[in-house]
Structures are given as C-alpha cells and as structure tokens.
Amino acid sequence: MFLELAIGDAYGACFEFAPIDFVKSHNNLTGYKRRPKNNKPAGIKKVGYYTDDTQMSLAVWRAIENFGSAIPTKEYFAHAFVAQFKSDPRLGYASMFYALLNQVSDGDELLQKIIPVSDRAGSSMRACPIGIYKKPEKVMKVASIQARITHNTPDGVVAAQTAAMMSHFFLYGKGSKTDLPRYLDHYLPGNWSMPWDVTKPVGNKGMEAVRAALTAIMNGQTMAEVLFKTVDYTGDVDTVAAIALGCIAHSAEFADDLPIALYDRLENNLFGRDYLKLEDETFLATLDVHKSRVYLPPLSEHS
C-alpha cells in the first residue's frame, strides 16, 4: 500500500495544479517529470519525492499499528502526526499546517492550537491504512476520529470515511469494483454512482478528491491506467493518485503494471523506497491477522 501510494503521490506531485498543456504532453508514466522553472508551487520538491499525502498516511498507520485491535485516540493520532513530521520534515503540506507542525512540540500542543474547520483533502489523503479493520463500522469510526483532529467538518469527515471504506472494500475483497459505488452508498451519503466530471480540474476539497479517485478506479483496468487517469484529470492530482493507488494496491482486480522507472526512481533515503517496503510487509502481516480473527455480532444481534 505505502509504496504504491507514494508512487502516486510523487508522480502526481509533478503535475499538481500544473498547466493543462503540460499535463497532456508529459503524463506518459515514463518517469517523474520536472516542472517548468516558472511553475513550481512551494510544495513541489525534487522529482521522485513523496509529499504530505504519504507521510500522513504513515502517521495514521503508526497509530493503528501501535494500538493493535483497540481504537487509537485522537490524542494518539495527533502525537503520531507530529512525530512523523518531526522525524522527516518535508514540504507539501498546506502552508499554515506546515507552520503549525514546525511550531508545536507534540500532539497535545497540536490539539490545543489547531482550528479544525477545513474541508480540504488532508483527512482523506491519509485514510487508506484505516481500511485494515475488518468491521466496516470500525473503519468508519476510526476515519472520523482522525479526520476531526484537522477537518472537523461534515465533508472533511465523510471524505476521510470514503477513502477508508474504498481501501477496506479492496483489502477484504468485498466484491468486484462494479459493486463499490453501491457499497459506499450503503454506509455514506453522496450518491457514489455519480462519476467525477472529468472536464474540470480536481479542486483541493476532500469530497472532490475521493470522487475523482473513485472515478479513476471505476474506469481503469490496471494500476497504470488508474494512475494515468488521476493525473489526466488535472488539479490536485497528487492527492487523487495517492488515494486511488493506495486503495487498489492489494486488489487482485488491478494488475500492477506500473513502469519500473516509477519504482526505481522513487526516493530511497531513510524514509524512502526500502522503508516503505518494510512498512508494507508489516501492514500485510497485520491484515492477515485481522482477516483470521473470528468476529461475533453484537449481543443484541443474537437476541
């Protein structure tokens, strides 16, 4: 999950809010692209480097891993957000949140100082690991807890829950991808059969990001096709690509035909490619434990 999510993030970062003509002429999956010198947003760094989408996903996973079968508290998620950032400060965050993470010393201070009224994509871009829980209701609850730390708005919470439930759907083989919109409709508001309008760029709202990711998943047959489509939409494409590839990374329905160059040229420093591979191994081992557990319905369902 984390390796593919990082590839989507790093590749998408080359095209985030880039001019449409640049996207159309360079989105060919042959490698990470250099933006024109006069069109490099503050969050864009060296090519092949992932951004906050991946780093925050790792923070969410760290909290989940450390809590085992218990539900992490908002305080622990906040500590994880700060600790992951402090261990590897990198650009890509919204400027005000980046400044806040630099300023605070721990999660308690983050909770004290943050004003969590955003409906942007930060809560959904980090939600893929939450799909590991076997019970959908637990996925929904944990996605809400971590979302409300920074995005305590109706759309901020639903967007995070949607990304987590898409991930859960594929991790547990809940059906063919054609069943996914109906599955989401059962748990979430939003009419998920309605596709993203591909004639307009994806904005920075969470609900736009998850709907665009879902549309790419529904219309792509392989991981490379999904990645191409997420970037072809233009706009906030690193987030869309990260969510989409993170959700389908372990689905047998999507062949992993991502070009080898995207693996080989992904950063491989202390928290780079090899680190992400190890995190994926731990994630899959934990997933197998969750799958093997026997979950009984609540007592009220027996009566």
Domain ranges of the chain: 2-288
Residue 62 has pLDDT above 80, yes or no: yes
Residues in the chain: 303
User: What's the mean pLDDT in 206-210?
Assistant: 98
Instruction: Tell me the pLDDT tens digit for each residue of 87-117.
Output: 999 888 999 999 999 999 999 999 999 999 9
Q: Any residues with CB less than 8 A from the CB of 5 and at least 6 apart, and which?
A: 53, 54, 57, 128, 242, 245, 246, 249
Residue 198 has pLDDT above 80, yes or no: yes
According to CATH, the topology of domain 2-288 is ADP-ribosylglycohydrolase fold (1.10.4080)
Determine the pLDDT at residue 68.
86
> Between residues 285 and 289, which one has the greater pLDDT?
285
User: What's the mean pLDDT in 168-188?
Assistant: 97
Residue 40 has pLDDT above 80, yes or no: no
Average pLDDT over all residues of the chain: 93
Residues β-bridged to residue 222: 255
Distance CA 168, CA 191 (A): 19
Determine the pLDDT at residue 290.
84
* Residue 138 vs residues 66, 241, 262: alpha-carbon distances, Å: 16, 25, 34
Distance CA 18, CA 294 (A): 48
Backbone angles phi, psi at 202, to 5 degrees: -80, 125
User: What's the mean pLDDT in 237-252?
Assistant: 97
Distance CA 240, CA 250 (A): 17
Distance CA 105, CA 215 (A): 39
Q: Any residues with CB less than 8 A from the CB of 174 and at least 6 apart, and which?
A: 168, 180, 183
